[in-house]
Structure 1
């Protein structure tokens, strides 16, 4: 690791980057340059920065620079926000000196900033013509929400700006640390950009106080910021996924949609070539733009193979039933777990959309199993039996659709039915 010397001169507001520092460094203009900028209350030695640096260097030869501004990223938060402008100006000065000293190509420079670090990247980019890319990892909301583009990261700050939102809820001191509105060329909202799987985010001050007394400060802090910090883990995971030679490696494939609810209903599956981007390091490989959604898991690596399923209840099914539906997809490589897909009224003609998330690649779907657990009211006099017409399975990982049906698709309480031999749409099935 090499430290580049930067000097701030308060008298005339000049910032000097010592050219000799860059000349003595291992900087190679033929390689891409990745610059990592940490956020509030963090340091350049945070584990995600160490791990991300190692993952980038393992991926391919490149220059990796870490901007360690921990002395300016401390309380009070308002001062840290003010400091981002100075750090952004220092980073811009460093980039300018890299051009002067080593003829660095700014189009090959990529700044990766988390929280306040994302806005530092924005300030630097706004002062650096031709900067290639900025990745904003849950850019900070407090002090920036609904502010002018001039004082926060926006898509004009680099040739390509991608943003991952993981804590995009209204700020309330114990949550909502990430900016809500889309601000990049492409904005990813994993799990709606809100509560992330596996995070025990506290929602009340009482819960925070109980955590402090019960589990200590470090545990409480990790719970408060878990969703906010998840953006760094997702980006790191994307680098590791992209470096794998495994043909069945999972990728953070995302879908453009008007809302997360529409996405979860499977209404936005127009994944034409190059239009469903991969969140993270590979985002520029797609020509997609705008807001994109995806689901992730709580397991290390966080990636899941996403399958949208639609169950079509027969028009001739009994007029009323109420219950819980579960589904399993079996492929030629593996199977998903039993997944809850619906709880509520099961009425004739119902179209029931849901998502099944698998941690492993199941391959080509060859069988679907469906079972029902009926819930009877106090005055229920009949035994529920729901009949299905068809089950449709869409995979956004492989961009294909499979249809399953057979005669007598009656769901008896607690028993599953097996549907094999995927069919083309309409083949011996009723699809209304």
Structure 2
């Protein structure tokens, strides 16, 4: 079988160089950079628009749950004129990837229409995306269809392409890039875990790239350089802002592969592997939907690596600020970015609500004797919410400052109150401890709040500190 590989590659390369042309969407070649050895040796010519049958399904505030039954079409642009499409509104176009049922797109529209009066369009190209290799080839035609749709909006309705936002998941992210490369002045592209297989280290004409729109933001949740690294996404930075939640490879809450692997049960491993990868791959659009409804969530920090981020080396936000991952990433002004800084890291929870807020808490411990126990801080803030955090555990030594970087699922806002409490681990007579000073540093703005007290307390008794 292996002996056939050079022959097949030779035949493929010999056949390359062909071209097909279709009315309305143009011509497509079967040569570099679309095909070639190693990265895209199986890619080829796309199908016809008629065979792919790309559909544009419109959702608006007048029909937020179901798409407008009379479908809109750029070929017959009077259908757009007769629809609920608003030429004075922003247009979000959701582009699926390989073999999808459209659920994530409907969820995006549903969330968007809760907070915005907008045009939300879900593209359906399921006929051309059932097989991965065919989908790679066909996305060029679908990209041209999307570009043609925007072109009709411009020419027939005077609609500016700067008001168009393409949101693509997996292969759909590269589809968005293809469409964007055909539309000068396109406003924004959001890539949700862009596909890796057949797109690693390819020229920018083939994949999503910052030049494809005025603003390109990308969320990586299942990134890998090769499939054997267990990932459907790409590690490559593809946008002006690239977000790597939880490091961007495997998401918390998705199933672990180790048990079926150690059992040497190939069928179980294969099923678990697919489930695991699909779970992490899908987290990107789950994060995006949550971000629509929570504008201040998912604060992301510029950092050289996830390892450095986890070590606390990139806390807090720099003076130019931090972007938020997801729908409101465009609030971050690109002119504020440092040169070549496009990697942004953050952590999330394992289930919704996913967003986390970072604080650094430092406690200067007061007391007379070393004790065994755990220190807790109860923190309240301007949002009216509060959280309790364990700061240190084990041998507690008065005169020592204990510092911990915490991530909470509660956004307390600016800290306005601090309570100190400690629990004794020893059965012996307990001493008294207290917090002489507590300093909270918020992750987003670097605000410092300082609280002081001269009290010491026995275990399980709250000590209330005052601003100082």
Query: Which category describes the TM-score, using the shorter chain as reference length?
Result: 0.7 to 0.9
Which residue is 1:293 aligned to?
345
Report the alpha carbon displacement of residue 130 of structure 1 after superposing the two structures with TM. 0.5
| Root mean square deviation, CA, Å | 4.0
Which residue is 1:259 aligned to?
305
Distance 1:406 1:354 in 2: 22
**Pair 1:157-2:251 in alignment:** no
Match for residue 99 of structure 2 among 35, 41, 63: 41
**Pair 1:135-2:190 in alignment:** yes
Secondary structure in structure 2 of the residue aligned to 1:282: helix
**Pair 1:421-2:462 in alignment:** no
Distance 2:395 2:231 in 1: 31
1:14-413, aligned counterparts within 5 Å?
A: 14-16=23-25, 19-25=74-80, 26=83, 27-43=85-101, 45-46=102-103, 48-75=104-131, 77-172=132-227, 175-202=230-257, 206=261, 221-242=274-295, 251-269=297-315, 271=317, 275-287=321-333, 288-289=336-337, 290-310=342-362, 327-332=376-381, 333-339=384-390, 352-361=403-412, 364-367=415-418, 369=420, 391-397=438-444, 399-404=446-451
**Unaligned 5+ runs, structure 1:** 1-9, 243-249, 376-382, 424-432
Aligned residues: 389
Distance 1:343 1:155 in 2: 50
Distance 1:338 1:327 in 2: 5
- CA displacement 1:403-424 (0-9 Å, x = unmatched): 35556989x9x8798572244x
Report the alpha carbon displacement of residue 32 of structure 1 after superposing the two structures with TM. 0.8
- CA displacement 1:332-368 (0-9 Å, x = unmatched): 534324447789999x988744223133536524215
- CA displacement 1:276-310 (0-9 Å, x = unmatched): 11211111111154222222223323123322234
The runs of at least 4 aligned residues of structure 1 exceeding 6 Å deviation read: 207-212, 340-346, 348-351, 372-375, 385-389, 414-417
Distance 1:351 1:56 in 2: 43
- CA displacement 1:35-61 (0-9 Å, x = unmatched): 001122213x32x21111122223222
Q: Which moved more, 1:118-127 or 1:396-405?
A: 396-405
The 8 Å contact of residues 415 and 449 in structure 2, kept in 1 or not, is answered as no
The 8 Å contact of residues 29 and 105 in structure 1, kept in 2 or not, is answered as no
Match for residue 12 of structure 1 among 12, 16, 21: 21
Report the alpha carbon displacement of residue 160 of structure 1 after superposing the two structures with TM. 0.3
Q: Which has the larger radius of gyration?
A: 2
The 8 Å contact of residues 403 and 422 in structure 1, kept in 2 or not, is answered as yes
Report the alpha carbon displacement of residue 271 of structure 1 after superposing the two structures with TM. 3.7
The 8 Å contact of residues 455 and 463 in structure 2, kept in 1 or not, is answered as no
Change (3 A) 1:184 1:420: same
Alignment TM-score, normalising by the size of structure 2:
0.70
Distance 2:304 2:394 in 1: 24
The 8 Å contact of residues 112 and 135 in structure 1, kept in 2 or not, is answered as yes
**Unaligned 5+ runs, structure 2:** 1-18, 26-48, 50-72
